[in-house]
Amino acid sequence: MERVLITGGAGFIGRHLTRRLLDQGHAVRVIDSLLPQVHGSQGHKPTDLGPEVDLRIADLRNTAAVVEALRGVDVVVHLAAAVGVGQSMYRVADYVGGNELGTASLWEAILASRVDHPLRRCVVASTMGIYGEGVYRSAVDETPRTVPPRQLGQLVAGDWEHRDAAGRQLVPFPLTEASPVQPRSVYALSKFQQEQLSRMLGDAYGIPVTTLRLFNVYGPGQALANPYAGVLAIFGARLLNGLPPELFEDGQQLRDFVHVTDVARAFHLAIDQTGDASTTLNIASGSAIPLVDLAKRLAGQLGRPDLTPVVTGRYRSGDTRHSLADISAAQKVLGYHPEVDLHAGLSQFVQWLGQQPLPRASSNATAELAVHGLMHGDSRTSPP
C-alpha cells in the first residue's frame, strides 16, 4: 500500500481523487488551506472527505507543515492552486504567491524529506489555459499556426473569430502537448510556472514528474457558491435560481468538458505509472461543444428549457476563443480513455444539483472585472 499526499485535496477534483484512491486501497493524506472562496469563511472540513482521510489544514507556503505532511509519503499529487482566470488579473500577488511560491515551498519540503523517504513520483495539475489563443488553420491550408490575440477593435465590432490577413475565418486546431505555450492570464502563467519548476527540480533530483494539463472539468462537487468556479457551476447556480445562463461574446466559443471521474482516473493512472520518465499530457474528453449549446442542454436536463441562454455580446480581456484537445498522448502513455459522455455526465451533475441548497447566483465576478476595466461591451440580450 502506498501513501499519497494530495495538495489541495479538499477541493473539487481532490475530493474525487481521494475517494477513488481510498477505494483502491491507498492511504491518503491531504494538505489544504481551505481557501474561503472555495470552502466558505468557516473553513470546515468538507463532509465528503471522510474520517479516514488525514487532513492537514495549512498553506503550502508553510514549509514546515508540508515537511510534516510528507512523512512516509510515496507519491505527491499537486492540485493546490488559486483557480480563477479573471480574478488572477487583479489579485496578482495572491495568485503568484499561492501558486508559484506555494509550489516552490512544496519542492523545498520534498527535497528536505527525500533522504528519509524518497518520493517515487510527483503528479502536477496544469491547465489548457497555458496554450492561450491556441492553434488554427485556414480553410485552404491544413498547416497549423499560432494566432495573435484578437484586437480590441475587432471585438468592439462584435467580430469574435480569428481571421487570416485576407479576413477569412480560421478553423481551430486540436491542441497537442507540443502546441506553443502562450499564457494570457496570471493564473495560466502561474500554472505554467508550477509545471516548469516541478519538471526542472524533478529532473535535477531524479523524481519523475507527470504533468496533466486539464481542460474544462465538471461534475458533482463543484463549488456552486464560488463565482470564479467553472462555467457549468455558474450556469447551474443561475438556473437553480430561475435565471437564464449568461454567455459572453456570441456563445459559440468551443470548449472541451471532461467529467471529474475521468479526471480522477487520469490522476490515478499517472500515480500508478512506473519508470523514470517525466511526461506532460492533455486530459480532456476529446470533443468540444459551443458554450451556448451546453447551456441549453443543461437547462433542458434541469427541466428549465424555458430559461433560454442570454447572449450578452460582452467580452472579457484575456478570454480565448476556442479550445480543442488532442488526447492521443494520454491514451498512448497512460491508457487513458474518457468513459463519461456529456449526456451521462450532465445527468449526474443535474441529479447532484437538485440535492444542493439554493446557491447564490452571484454576478460578483463580472462586476469585479468591470471595476478593473477587464469587462467590455454593452449588455445585449439577443437570442442565441
Ligand X SMILES: NC(=O)c1ccc[n+]([C@@H]2O[C@H](COP(=O)([O-])OP(=O)(O)OC[C@H]3O[C@@H](n4cnc5c(N)ncnc54)[C@H](O)[C@@H]3O)[C@@H](O)[C@H]2O)c1
| Residues at the site binding ligand X, with contacts judged by CB under 6 A | 8, 10-14, 32-35, 38-39, 59-60, 79-83, 98, 102, 125, 127, 191, 214, 216-217, 223, 230
Of residues 6 and 350, the one with the C-beta less far from ligand X: 6
Please provide residue 116's backbone torsions phi and psi, each rounded to the nearest 5 degrees: -70, -40
In angstroms, what is the minimal distance from the CB of 5 to ligand X? 12
- DSSP assignments along 166-187, one per residue: T-PBPEEE-B-TTSPP---SHH
Shortest spacing between CB 301 and ligand X, in angstroms = 20
C-beta closer to ligand X: residue 53 or 79: 79
Nearer Cβ to ligand X (154/196): 196
Dig out the grid coordinates for 127 from the structure: 491547465
Q: How far is the CB of 64 from ligand X (least distance, A)?
A: 14
> How many beta carbons lie within 10 A of that of residue 27, not counting itself?
17
Q: Which grid cell sits at 299?
A: 437547462
Q: What is the smallest separation between the CB atom of 290 and ligand X, expressed in angstroms?
A: 18
How far apart, in Å, are the Cα atoms of 20 and each of 14, 27, 28, 49, 188? Answer: 10, 11, 10, 11, 27
Grid coordinates in use for 190?
Answer: 502561474
Least CB distance to ligand X at residue 225 (A): 12
Q: Please state the closest distance from residue 305 (CB atom) to ligand X, in A.
A: 26
| Smallest gap from residue 189 Cβ to ligand X (A) | 12
| Cβ density class 244-279: b for 16+ within 10 Å, e for less | bbbbbbbbbbbbbbbbbbbbbbbbbbbbebeeeebb
The residue among 128 and 292 lying less far from ligand X, judged by its C-beta, is: 128
Q: Which is nearer to ligand X, 26 or 39 (CB)?
A: 39
Contact 251, 295 (CB under 8 A): yes
| Rounded CA separation 69/360 (Å) | 35
Helices 102-113 and 186-205, axial angle in degrees (round to 10): 20
Element (H, E) at 149: none
Q: Which residue is nearest to ligand X (CB)?
A: 11
CB nearer ligand X, residue 231 or residue 369 = 231
Q: Which is nearer to ligand X, 113 or 216 (CB)?
A: 216
Decide: 266 and 124 in contact? Cβ < 8 Å.
no
